[in-house]
């Protein structure tokens, strides 16, 4: 699949023709972030990994460069029943509760901007959600949102997926050299207002799959989203199960120490 830039004039990017598919389970925040970072470090040309996962407890994730000191605190988060982790990627705070989280790791040539891969992956998600019957579109014309701006689901950025102007999928990215990571949240329910208990004010409503498909069980919506995404990938690529490499425990442990470190969490 080849996708042009968000405005139709940017450089195009062809997604890899081989994908490894991982339906992972629920983990704590540090483990989830360590896993995504370990996968990014494994990125190689022509093979990408698509991982789906969830969270052992409701968890707020902060963006890599987001300033949260004075907005959040360990005490307020604990009183709200929330864990916290800082992502390796950019973006702003969001609550992982009743939602579905994905990550994609791949090799992105250094002569291409990160937006080339971002647009291509969002196109896969767009096509999958459309196949489910979701009236989703891509946001355009949005003003740039600084990392210290509102929480993630407060307003969409260009290229993000929205339903009637309300964000349904919030995504964030990070690249180092030619290794690229994109991960994000597809809301099953709009729980983002719970951040008001841990911060200062509730965000406006977001879109959610459970609202669009009343009466459908969360497990069925999750299965539909996974199957629809796999079907889109299979249009242009081979898809095989991801197999954890033999040295995975040591790879994961080194990243886990970083994401579990309070100095990383409260660095800004």
* Residues belonging to the active site: 152
Whole-number Å distance between alpha carbons of 182 and 266 = 22
Cβ of 188: how many Cβ atoms within 10 Å?
22
Cβ of 187: how many Cβ atoms within 10 Å?
26
Instruction: State the DSSP string of 72-128.
Output: B-HHHHHHTT-EEEE-SS-S--EEESSEEEEEEEEE--TTS-HHHHHHHHHHHHHHH
Query: Chain-centre distance of CA 267, in angstroms?
Result: 21
Query: Is residue 114 within 8 Å of residue 180, measured between CB atoms?
Result: yes
- Dihedrals phi, psi of 101, to nearest 5 degrees: -105, 140
Q: Which token pair is 53?
A: 């996962």
**Tokens 């291509």 found at:** 120
Whole-number Å distance between alpha carbons of 27 and 6 = 33
Mapped onto helix, strand or coil, the DSSP state of residue 66 is: coil
Whole-number Å distance between alpha carbons of 130 and 133 = 5
Query: Is residue 65 within 8 Å of residue 134, measured between CB atoms?
Result: no
């Amino acid at each position: 699949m080849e996708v042009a830039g968000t405005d139709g004039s940017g450089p195009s990017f062809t997604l890899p023709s081989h994908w490894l598919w991982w339906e992972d389970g629920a983990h704590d925040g540090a483990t989830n972030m360590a896993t995504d970072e370990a996968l990014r470090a494994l990125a190689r040309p022509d093979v990408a990994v698509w991982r789906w996962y969830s969270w052992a407890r409701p968890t707020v994730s902060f963006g890599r460069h987001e300033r949260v000191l004075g907005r959040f605190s360990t005490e307020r988060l604990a009183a709200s029943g929330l864990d916290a982790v800082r992502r390796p990627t950019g973006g702003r705070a969001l609550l992982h509760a009743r939602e579905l989280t994905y990550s994609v790791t791949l090799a992105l040539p250094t002569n291409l901007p990160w937006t080339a891969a971002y647009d291509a992956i969002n196109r896969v998600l767009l096509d999958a959600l459309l196949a489910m019957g979701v009236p989703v579109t891509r946001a355009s014309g949005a003003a740039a949102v600084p990392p210290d701006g509102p929480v993630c689901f407060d307003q969409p950025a260009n290229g993000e997926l929205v339903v009637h102007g309300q964000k349904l999928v919030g995504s964030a990215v990070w690249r180092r050299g030619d290794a690229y990571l994109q991960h994000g949240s597809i809301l099953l329910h709009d729980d983002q207002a719970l951040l008001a208990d841990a911060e200062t004010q509730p965000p406006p409503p977001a879109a959610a799959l459970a609202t669009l498909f009343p009466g459908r069980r969360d497990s069925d919506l999750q299965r539909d989203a996974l199957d629809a995404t796999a079907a889109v990938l299979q249009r242009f690529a081979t898809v095989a199960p991801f197999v954890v490499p033999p040295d995975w425990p040591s790879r994961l442990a080194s990243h886990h120490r970083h994401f579990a470190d309070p100095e990383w969490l409260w660095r800004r």
